[in-house]
Amino acid sequence: MAFTGSGRATARHLTDRQGHKRFTGLEHAASTSVQDAAHTLLRTEFAGTDHVFRLNGPRVEAFSGVAKDLFRLLARGDIEEYRAIVHATRHSRPRLTFDKDWGGPVSVHADGSVFALRLLPGQGA
């Protein structure tokens, strides 16, 4: 749901076996995600959302998203094109490494999605 923004938007991408029905009921207001953040990670542009939270005291930023080119396809509802591209490029991913420019670990999945963590500035090393 972090990439589509809501349960209803997620449901249209899932079969019943994948949990389509789970996302078609009432939604909690906090379940809606806003794709208002963009970061370049490992020299690839990603669109998604970020959250700041405390992890044993220090404030941490978590970013989840998807490669911008794939995000545009999902936003338009071009699921078949998304699937074809992800399938054709699946061997260039996944990747788990530390991105010096970002300042923390970055995990890129075979489907083009990304999850990245970093300490916020001034939080210590």
Give tens-digit pLDDT for 16-55. 777 666 665 544 333 344 567 899 999 999 988 888 888 8
CA angle 15, 20, 23 (to 5 degrees): 160
Q: Please, are residues 46 and 67 in contact by the beta-carbon 8 Å criterion?
A: yes
**pLDDT for the residue 35:** 60
Q: Domain check: are 47 and 73 in the same one?
A: yes
Q: Please, are residues 42 and 65 in contact by the beta-carbon 8 Å criterion?
A: no
For tokens 């939604």, name the residue.
27
Q: How many separate domains does the chain show?
A: 2
Q: Domain check: are 53 and 73 in the same one?
A: yes
Which residue type occupies 1?
A: M
Percentage of the residues of the chain whose pLDDT score is greater than 90: 30
Q: Domain check: are 67 and 99 in the same one?
A: yes
Q: Domain check: are 65 and 5 in the same one?
A: no
Establish if 82 belongs to a structural domain.
yes
Determine the straight-line distance between the first and last CA of the chain, rounded to whole angstroms: 31
Q: Quick one: pLDDT band at residue 100, thresholds 50, 70, 90?
A: very high
What residues make up the domain containing 85?
34-119
